Amino acid sequence: MFKAKNGGPKRGVPDENGEGPFAGSAGKGRGEKSPFTDTPFLLFTALALGAGTISYFRGQTTFGKGLDACSAMLWEVLPRMGAAFLVAGFCQVLLPKDFIMKWIGERSGFRGIFIATLAGVLTPGGPLISFPLIAALYKLGADYGALVAFLTSWELMGFMRTVVWEIPMMGLKFVLLRFLVSMAFPLMAGLIARKLVLFLDPQIQLKEG
């Protein structure tokens, strides 16, 4: 079994505490980082407060329109987000961690990247569905390379998007040509991501034990 020389977590998967090689300095596990120490959250909060302040000083009408637009978008997106997070949450409970690590974990080799690529192609919907699913797989111990391959194939070759939009508008010949050109990129991206894990965190060296 692959282990870190220093007895730390295995590369690309969390240890028993849920920590991976890129876990935060606060010792939080995968996906457990506090929003109040999360840079993107703080940045978007600052931008929202700034935009709201500017709108307020431009008049109550402008500020009210901004709140109305926010409410409309929230009610439109919230049900789908809730459903997507429910799916992601139940996936973490229903999918055995050993199963995920076997098929798309760090020891799955090229097979794992290929499976993740195929799963990305077949995953329907937009970011509200795919990203919670990726987050669930990440917490279950999926390899960084497999996750990169999944996301890349979903973005480049999403099946539902191709059937609903691309084939009717561009034709089958164009779609087949684009698929042939694009199909290697998710595989390459996944393999490169695996190599970058070691490059970005050189202290984690693996050996067979």
In angstroms, the Cα distances linking 190 to 75, 103, 144, 171, 207 are 36, 14, 8, 29, 21
Spacing of C-alpha 141 from chain mean position = 13
pTM score over 0.75: no
Q: Which residue has the tokens 């794992």?
A: 112
The pLDDT tens digits for 34-85 are 666 778 788 888 898 888 888 888 888 888 888 888 888 888 878 877 777 7
Q: Which residue has the tokens 């995953």?
A: 123
- Look at residue 2 in the predicted model and tell me its pLDDT: 44
CA distance 186 to 128: 21
Question: Which residue ranges in the chain fall short of pLDDT 50?
Answer: 1-29, 204-209
- Look at residue 150 in the predicted model and tell me its pLDDT: 95
- Look at residue 25 in the predicted model and tell me its pLDDT: 36
Q: Return the exposure string of 71-103: e unless at least 16 CB atoms fall within 10 Å of the residue's CB, then b.
A: eeeeeeeeeeeeebeeebeebbeeeeeeebbeb
Helix, strand or coil for residue 4? Answer: strand
